[in-house]
Structure 1
């Protein structure tokens, strides 16, 4: 991801500025410490050519190329440096560069190496959980039409967002600014462009000197009324910086500012109170209702290098206490460029989540106070390069994304896009109803299971009987609904590409499964030659427990049956163990032992008399439990 945008969006990187190893590296080390990576790479390379290379020089050369996203050279020198090093972060970066160069299998090998060294790292656990993630991203289909913007230059251009009919971008095209040593481009300014009726754009206009200074200015965001603008700027403007005692390099932070619109221009620029000389805050994004500011920061207490935070915007315009979005969003890597859209979808860029190389765009959404799983937006929004500063108008489904991918006009370009298909998440809206009255049931427990039967999450229905879940497209799931006085139910949900899927679940009164002679549950099947209670069996037995709790005088005789395979005596013993397991499960749920007896019937009462020609399904029907009413229950209360 590196290049000039990294100063604005990684900021204070003094942790990477190592002290000189010897007099030979002093010049190169000073250039590296000043973020002058182009010159630093030349100086370290000269040492290699002169035969003065050491593992340290190889590592610094790789870092220099990494920071200007020269992936081919970075890969080459990381490989050389790792011949004599087992540095986990260097291995991770090496895997990134391999991936950026399309060497997916080799990248995975390095990720496996990284994961073995840092097994508890979120990046490692995500990879171990889904090592074949790359084909899934590449094959999930192109959801967007992406075009290079006609307004890009040979310099860095990024960050498109619209307000009041104008497009606001950040660019290094101002030749009147001095150049910055990171990549020898001019310092960044904020520009506006007006769109013509034919879709083209007029020439970019530099914003006034209240907004642009001789220092870097970055991404912008606006309040819903369009009258307040938030933007990033270097803390040099505030005369806040620190000086490294070894390299004499001055380090700035990135601060967030806000400006007020006066007439047709911007004025009254203020530094936000959340700024600090000890860390950076950057990449502002205001929620559609104007109540929340999202941003990225490396403030203490985060999970990685930069994390995404949100903070309330108070009625008086001040900013409240920042809240970290947590480990679902943030990793040990970089999470930056948050954008909260009008439907409260959070888009952001990361090199810590599983992606295609460099930074990828990801998204998630908050439902009932919880964030949905983080998803990769996929190609062509994402590429082998850095993809960042994603914004979208959810109504027109048009927007902008920035990238340093191959084929652009400059080092970073702004790409326009049109969404063609929904992103690959499905909102399941489950509505639970009383089957008799057709009224919604409030307070029912609805549990989501994945295709392998693993519990994902549980929710309680609201006053409308609704519980909502977000799942990945094309993934089969199952909903389990439990409510007091109603029969529990499981409903399979077929995978879909629809943005929203309505599932209606009607529950019968629990008494429906009671007959004068027995409690009629769905079959309690056992695996062949087994007597343990399965998850499906437990679900059915919980209904029995529910009834026995409701009718305290109810006494049950649980009978268990086998199929005809095996000897008669063996089947008798097996059925007794099964009956005993059934009895013990019910007792474990708080039912007094005197209220349920267990009886093994062996193969004496086959449900399907098929002899030696039974199918597997017929054998399974014979392996069953039944629940006979001895006394009590609703019949006794009449």
Structure 2
């Protein structure tokens, strides 16, 4: 019995020892995972699983290690096991990475099914909104595809080559070719890959043309993703956090990344580099890009306030070379996943890589217009062949020449990451243009207003464009239907009027403006008939009943009096010289009174109206008694006046 007890104790101690050993091994794997050392983490997690220990957390971290190490096939298999064996412990992020992995290996139908599960369990996640709002995003990608001729870069190596940036007659790029590291760049805040910056004149056919940058830029650590100002004198680039030739780790033991600035000396070499004030030991900043006017620096970071794994930011570069406060580009561009590698073209189109927006798998290249610092425009996937099932990133583009470079870890490349050059054959169709047409009229007289100004004002009250009405009072313009805008009509002497047009599907829209006089009662003694440009008030021959055709004109006067309650009028009636003068005087008085009575019946107070007939006393031309005139000349004198009274 004693031997049995001793054996049981030994067995229990042995089992406990095995458990403790596995726990220590898992802890070591977690340490590697937390420091972004994914390859060692994978080896450790697999070793634990081979010994029969499996959990949801272990599968999740193993799958994420494969995912961030760009091994999407093994990632998909691992997530599949997680979902199948631990369904109650699956998180929304697990579903998302599983769907992304499936998409990357070409299993689009299964990927869509998993993405639908992600949408079901997620509320308020921008990625779910993007997929849910446009289920047929693959059609959009297909529409944007086929616009580039893609070629492998002549200077690729069997190692990692990526992050091209324009420089002189060639490019600067990042590579680990001289380190023999053979470590795939993982597109995370991993600082384990010891990369250097190289420059090459692309017009040369010799590999000897590839040269390392100065030692002030390249160190024994990690340098990548650069941008140089147009004058070639200032360079911003990424380096891992180091001080006095030693790496600096944060409180989690992670070596973060920083953006540095170097200035070209008079000797033509890069001088001492300087740290930028918004860098930190506790988070990473990386992948710098400049705005066309070089007054804004764009970059990627996981600083506090970031939506996902990494977001895109911008910061103002002041005239004295200091910097403003970094600003997140917002939820339209940034998702809960990875946004990184920004590039801004001369036409202010922002290109960047993301695995949060709908794509083909891994990191895809996306584009959006950011004119006037607006980051709410539609984000478009640039399509194949720039994008693939693998990671596609570090896209740069010369819009004048329609050429550029990008990098990818797709199959068929020479190294782990390869640079490709390309030519754009068809521009990306960013614009959703909505045609807006219409007329501008006087609100009371209905007269078409020629030369009226039509302005388009955005929601920040900035004028975007303007036009004027033609000889027929018509205008025509096109609006960006992905944004809300105000269309405003202006004319001297009239009160401006505007109408808001929100985001739309781009269908044509008609807006007719009816402008009001800005102060119709200002001109005492003026003839309202002239201001309203009324047609002649006609009466039948030898009668004073108002004809139907003239009622329309008098209604315009009534509308003016209803609009301006203080307006008082004196209605004057005139005849020509034909017929006896006394009769003409009587007839004109009757016609004036008839007009007043008509207006009173329509609701205008009689206290605001007076009338007087002048007969032929106030002729406008020489057609008096005894003077031979044409009918047209006589008609000039047959008129009604609506004189504004004090």
TM-score, structure 2 as length reference: 0.67
Q: Is the 8 A contact 1:425 1:470 kept in 2?
A: no
**Greater CA radius of gyration, 1 or 2?**
2
Report the equivalent of 2:195: 188
* Deviation at residue 483 of structure 1 after TM alignment: 3.7
Pairing 1:120-519 to 2, within 5 Å after superposition? 120-175=124-179, 187-196=194-203, 202-237=208-243, 241-242=248-249, 250-262=253-265, 263-371=267-375, 372-426=377-431, 428=433, 439=451, 441-443=453-455, 469-470=479-480, 483=489
* Deviation at residue 550 of structure 1 after TM alignment: 8.2
> Unaligned 5+ residue runs, structure 1?
1-18, 448-456, 520-543, 555-593, 596-633
* Deviation at residue 211 of structure 1 after TM alignment: 0.6
Give, in whole Å, the separation in 2 of the partners of 1:200 and 1:434: 66
Report the equivalent of 1:81: 82
Give, in whole Å, the separation in 2 of the partners of 1:366 and 1:45: 46
Give, in whole Å, the separation in 2 of the partners of 1:352 and 1:329: 9
Q: Is the 8 A contact 1:313 1:319 kept in 2?
A: yes
Report the equivalent of 2:577: none
Give, in whole Å, the separation in 1 of the partners of 2:127 and 2:92: 12
Q: Is the 8 A contact 2:364 2:392 kept in 1?
A: yes
Distance change (3 Å), C-alpha of 1:366 and 1:440: farther
Distance change (3 Å), C-alpha of 1:362 and 1:468: farther
The two structures, once aligned, show a CA RMSD in angstroms of 4.4
TM-score, structure 1 as length reference: 0.68
Report the equivalent of 1:585: none
Deviations 1:40-76 (A, max 9, x none): 2233223333323333332222122112111111000
Distance change (3 Å), C-alpha of 1:516 and 1:271: farther
Give, in whole Å, the separation in 2 of the partners of 1:60 and 1:186: 21
> Unaligned 5+ residue runs, structure 2?
1-19, 442-447, 469-475, 517-531, 536-548, 567-601, 604-639
Deviations 1:220-264 (A, max 9, x none): 0012211000000001246563365xxxx7311111111111233
* Deviation at residue 418 of structure 1 after TM alignment: 0.5
Q: Is the 8 A contact 2:349 2:369 kept in 1?
A: yes
Give, in whole Å, the separation in 2 of the partners of 1:242 and 1:163: 32
Give, in whole Å, the separation in 2 of the partners of 1:159 and 1:181: 11
Deviations 1:253-286 (A, max 9, x none): 1111111112332112111111111211111111
Q: Is the 8 A contact 2:176 2:194 kept in 1?
A: yes
Partner SS for 1:47: helix
Give, in whole Å, the separation in 2 of the partners of 1:277 and 1:102: 39
Report the equivalent of 1:40: 41
Deviations 1:435-469 (A, max 9, x none): 9665351556799xxxxxxxxx9986656569874
Report the equivalent of 1:603: none
Q: Is the 8 A contact 1:175 1:186 kept in 2?
A: no
Q: Is the 8 A contact 1:194 1:201 kept in 2?
A: no
Partner SS for 1:383: coil
Give, in whole Å, the separation in 2 of the partners of 1:43 and 1:166: 43
Q: Is the 8 A contact 2:337 2:356 kept in 1?
A: yes
Alignment coverage as a number of residue pairs: 496
Give, in whole Å, the separation in 1 of the partners of 2:66 and 2:98: 12
* Deviation at residue 102 of structure 1 after TM alignment: 1.2
Mean alpha-carbon deviation: is it higher for 462-471 or for 164-173?
A: 462-471
Report the equivalent of 1:612: none
Report the equivalent of 1:63: 64
Q: Is the 8 A contact 1:431 1:464 kept in 2?
A: no
